[in-house]
Amino acid sequence: MTTFAERILDFNSKLKYIGKLPNNIQVMNPFKDNPIIIKTVEEFYKKYYSDNKIRRMILGINPGRFGAGVTGIPFTDTKRLVEICGLNWKGHSTYEPSSVFVYELIEAYGGAKKFYSDFYINSVSPLGYIEIKNGKSINYNYFDSEELTNAVLAFIVSCIKEQIKFGIDTSVCFCLGKTDNYSFLSRLNDDYHFFQKIVPLDHPRYITQYKKRAIRKYINEYLSEFNK
């Protein structure tokens, strides 16, 4: 029988979007042809997920360029990867505000080992998107245009179905983002009945950007929902 870690790694290795995208939008796949990320991701999941425990699922939006886009691990920049997860990193260093909040939350929950034994984090779209604008690459969310949302809908549905097979407790899913992400995931859940309940939480990026002085309050809100 495969472990939770092996199922995640197999899923990541096969992640690929093959449909047509809107003009100036590109897919960001951190697991494709990058030996540093592939090695780091393998070490991370084998460290925290080499078992067959049932876990609850947390879904963000899609990978960003400075978090999972670099490390391959959702909401984990290189600083948290090294200092908290205890893994080696040989690529360039990154700092991602959402990662700061998530790892303060993880510490409040009881540390990385306890948190990752209870939760599996990914995103509604496990691949990221980039808009090429004036020659620059800009983070783009799957819901930022109706055209992109419609293009990746079948891909998103397939990915959620596959991840539930890892060993996910489908009684509840925690959605990061109370507006667009929650609205989309709720409608999707109405159609496909992935989870019995979707619980919306304020997105870590929103908290660190606009509510930084109230981080402890938001951590307590997360913990309260987790403990219900």
Is residue 30 within 8 Å of 42, Cβ to Cβ?
A: no
How much is the pLDDT for 1? 86
Those residues with Cβ within 8 angstroms of residue 111's Cβ, 6 or more apart along the chain or in another chain: none
220 or 38: which carries more pLDDT confidence?
A: 220
| Helical pair 4-14 and 35-48, crossing angle rounded to 10 deg | 160
- CATH code of 4-177+197-226, in short, is 3.40.470.10
Instruction: Tell me which DSSP letter residue 175 carries.
Output: E
The Cα–Cα gap between 116 and 186 comes to: 24
Most confidently modeled range among 10-14, 28-32, 70-74: 10-14
At 80-100, the pLDDT tens digits run 999 999 999 887 788 889 999
Listed in order, strand segments (DSSP E) in the chain are 25-28, 55-60, 119-123, 128-133, 136-140, 168-176, 198-201
The pLDDT score that the predictor gives to residue 94 is: 83
Distance of CA 7 to the CA centre of its chain: 16
pLDDT, tens digit, for every residue of 23-51?
A: 999 999 988 868 888 999 999 999 999 99
CB 11 within 8 A of CB 163: yes
pLDDT tens digit sequence for 112-171: 999 999 999 999 999 999 999 888 888 899 999 999 999 999 999 999 999 999 999 999
Q: What is the pLDDT of residues 159-212, one digit of tens each?
A: 999 999 999 999 999 999 999 999 999 999 999 999 999 999 999 999 999 999
Instruction: Give dist(CA 22, CA 146) in Å, integer.
Output: 10
Stated pTM of the model? 0.95
